[in-house]
């Protein structure tokens, strides 16, 4: 059973999420919060597996709340929800280590699967905006960082090729086609890249590739 907390200042949005997610046999909504400060209390008391976090809220916003939660020991997985498809706050949340980013109008079956994927430790980005978010993270490259270069040097040649494609916003299927690999092999490479670089999502990989001067 995956235990969920919903964080959104709009009660109608929380109701909609409860209707979408609450009927699934493996998902249990254990609590709701109306803002970031309330969320800190609810999550502390209930220790959910996954938090669906609105990014824009009055008072303590979702970005601040995400950073505070991820600084705790054994934090929950955080899936950021937003109505904006290229929001700077979303990018910042992913940089902090949030596990995923979905638009609020994501179709219910995809939202349900995204929650399950995040609970399994798999990062999730809405396909419609993944390229924009990754491009923003990889943009503005300055002088290569020796530290980032040392991190990238931990990768095999093949893993560096895959990491560079990730930084360009390519999907697993696109990487498979360009590098003449199976999708399963691409997924295995991505898993190893995350482990070697200490990253949780493609945005963080994109920033390391940028900082190493590979783009």
The more confident residue out of 86 and 183 is 183
* Per-residue pLDDT at 111: 92
Mean pLDDT along residues 130-153 = 71
Cα distances from 68 to residues 61, 81, 168, in angstroms, run: 11, 17, 30
Dihedral (CA of 113, 114, 119, 120) sign? positive
Q: Which residue has the higher pLDDT, 138 or 75?
A: 75
Model confidence at 135, in pLDDT bands (50, 70, 90)?
A: low
DSSP label of 35: S
For 143-179, what is each residue's pLDDT tens digit?
A: 678 888 999 999 999 999 999 988 877 878 889 999 9
pLDDT at 29: 97
In the chain, where are the structural domains located? 2-125, 142-211
What pLDDT, on a 0 to 100 scale, did the predictor assign at position 100? 82
Is pLDDT larger for residue 89 or for residue 50? 50
* Domain 142-211 in CATH 1.10.1060.10: no
Q: What CA–CA distances, in Å, run from 178 to 165, 172, 173, 214? A: 9, 10, 9, 17
The model's pTM is 0.69
Q: Is the model's pLDDT at 129 over the cut of 60? A: no
Please say whether the beta carbons of 210 and 138 come within 8 A.
yes
* 183: enclosing H helix or E strand: helix 183-197
| pLDDT over 70 (residue 137) | no
Residues in CB range of 150: below 8 A, 6 or more apart: none
- Do the beta carbons of residue 52 and residue 17 sit within 8 Å? yes
CATH superfamily of 2-125: Response regulator (3.40.50.2300)
The token pair at 187 is: 């997924």
- The pLDDT value given to residue 202: 78
For 171, what's the count of Cα atoms within 13 Å in the CB-facing half-sphere? 9
98 close to 66: Cβ distance less than 8 angstroms: yes
Instruction: Give pLDDT, residue 141.
Output: 53
């Amino acid at each position: 059973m995956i235990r969920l907390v919903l964080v959104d200042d709009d009660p109608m949005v929380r109701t909609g999420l409860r209707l979408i997610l609450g009927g699934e046999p493996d998902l249990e909504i254990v609590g709701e919060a109306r803002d970031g400060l309330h969320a800190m209390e609810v999550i502390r008391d209930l220790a959910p597996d996954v938090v669906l976090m609105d990014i824009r809220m009055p008072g303590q916003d979702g970005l601040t709340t995400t950073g505070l939660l991820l600084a705790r020991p054994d934090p929950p997985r955080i899936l950021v929800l937003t109505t904006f498809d290229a929001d700077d706050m979303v990018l910042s949340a992913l940089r902090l280590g949030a596990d995923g980013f979905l638009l609020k109008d994501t179709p219910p079956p995809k939202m349900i699967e995204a929650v399950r994927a995040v609970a399994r430790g798999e990062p999730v980005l809405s396909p419609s905006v993944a390229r924009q978010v990754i491009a923003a993270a990889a943009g503005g490259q300055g002088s290569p960082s020796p530290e980032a270069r040392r991190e990238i040097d931990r990768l095999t040649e093949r893993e560096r090729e895959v990491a560079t494609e990730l930084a360009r916003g390519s999907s697993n299927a696109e990487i498979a086609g360009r590098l003449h690999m199976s999708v399963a092999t691409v997924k295995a490479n991505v898993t190893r890249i995350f482990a070697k670089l200490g990253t949780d999502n493609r945005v963080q990989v994109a920033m390391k590739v940028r900082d190493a001067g590979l783009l």
